Structure formats: structure tokens, C-alpha cells
């Protein structure tokens, strides 16, 4: 898949969503996996992180810094992101880029939550899945809570397919004309 980027201005701040793997901050991903807010994840070895990133599409959400950061002060590892965007969120598609996509690791750092960035990032993800010519379904799990269900029903045209006490399993509506 060709790399894609989207930009969003909110007051003085500029945000970017990008699929470019070279922009990702491995430290940000590992720190997020370690955060109890991502209760379903935990940090992985750097070798496994590389395998994970090589075999899925991790969509990064970034905040543009007002000035380029000196590399020594950059919160982003300089070799991975040599310019002034700081990663503040992500979503990950595990996919064959054609027929099926599993969405996971949807996260926006708490200080930037509630500004519409999560919805915008998922709309960008939907553009990616809409471009998959043979897509049958997007599947994912979410918190079994009304606000989470509403969020995904509205953004991804998905319905709860199964549920347990704390989690719901979603499938997007079947694409017309395709089986399964």
C-alpha cells in the first residue's frame, strides 16, 4: 500500500495521521503498551516489535511541534523521526490489504483525548479499508460500554457480533456482493 498522510488543524495546533512506518516512535508504542489505559497490551521485545510492524499497518497520530526540536531533546528517537512531529496516538490494522482487516491498538494520549482526534484517526483508517477492493469485513474488539459501541458503530458501520462481560466483538457490515 502506498503511504498516506492526512492533516488536521485545531486552533493553533496541526495534527497528522500517517501510515509511514519510518515516522513511528518505537518508544511511544512500547510506552503505550505499558500504560494501563491500553489494558489489552503489554510491551514486546524490540525483535517482536519489528516483526509486528513489518506485518501490520500501524497508523500514527502526530502533533506538529511549533519549532523543530533539537534531536537531543526530541521525545521521538531521532533515527525514526528526524522532524518535528511527535507521536500522540495510533491505530493498527492487521490485514492482507485486500479482503480482511483486524483493527486493534486504538489509542490517543489522555492529554489530547476529547478533541475529536480519535474519531478523525478512525475516519482515516476507514479510508484505508475502503480502498481495499475485495474487503469482506473489518473485525475488532472493544470495551463493552455504550460510548465505545456508539463510537465504532458510527465510524465503521460495524455491529456488535458477540459479547462477553467486558469486551464486545465487532464486525463491519458485509460489503455488498462479497461472501463471508
Please report, as ranges, the residues that interact with ligand COA according to CB under 6 A.
37-38, 106-108, 113-119, 142-143, 147-148, 151
3-class DSSP state of 29: helix
Residue nearer to ligand COA on the CB measure, 28 or 151: 151
Q: Which residues pair with 90 in a beta bridge?
A: 60, 107
The least CB distance from residue 164 to ligand COA, in Å, is 14
Q: Closest CB to ligand COA belongs to which residue?
A: 118
Residue nearer to ligand COA on the CB measure, 100 or 158: 158
**Is residue 152 within a helix (H) or strand (E), and if so which, with residue range?**
helix 146-156
3-class DSSP state of 104: strand
The least CB distance from residue 116 to ligand COA, in Å, is 4
Residue nearer to ligand COA on the CB measure, 17 or 100: 17
CA-to-CA distance for 41 and 35, rounded, in angstroms? 8
The least CB distance from residue 157 to ligand COA, in Å, is 16
Query: For the chain, what percentages of helix, strand and coil (3-state, to nearest 5) are there?
Result: 30, 35, 40
Amino acid at each position: 500500500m502506498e503511504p498516506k498522510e492526512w492533516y488536521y488543524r485545531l486552533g493553533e495546533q496541526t495534527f497528522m495521521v500517517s501510515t509511514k512506518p519510518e515516522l513511528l516512535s518505537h518508544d511511544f508504542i512500547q510506552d503505550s503498551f505499558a500504560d494501563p489505559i491500553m489494558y489489552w497490551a503489554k510491551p514486546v521485545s524490540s525483535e517482536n516489535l519489528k516483526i509486528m510492524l513489518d506485518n501490520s499497518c500501524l497508523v500514527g497520530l502526530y502533533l506538529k511541534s511549533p519549532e523543530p526540536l533539537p534531536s537531543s531533546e526530541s521525545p521521538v528517537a531521532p533515527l525514526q523521526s528526524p522532524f518535528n512531529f511527535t507521536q500522540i496516538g495510533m491505530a493498527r490494522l492487521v490485514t492482507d490489504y485486500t479482503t480482511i482487516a483486524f483493527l486493534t491498538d486504538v489509542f490517543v494520549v489522555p492529554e489530547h483525548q476529547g478533541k475529536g482526534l480519535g474519531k478523525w484517526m478512525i475516519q482515516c483508517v476507514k479510508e484505508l479499508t475502503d480502498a481495499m477492493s475485495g474487503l469482506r469485513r473489518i473485525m475488532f474488539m472493544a470495551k463493552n460500554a455504550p460510548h465505545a459501541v456508539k463510537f465504532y458503530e458510527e465510524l465503521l458501520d460495524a455491529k456488535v457480533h458477540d459479547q462477553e462481560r467486558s469486551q464486545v466483538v465487532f464486525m463491519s457490515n458485509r460489503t455488498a456482493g462479497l461472501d463471508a
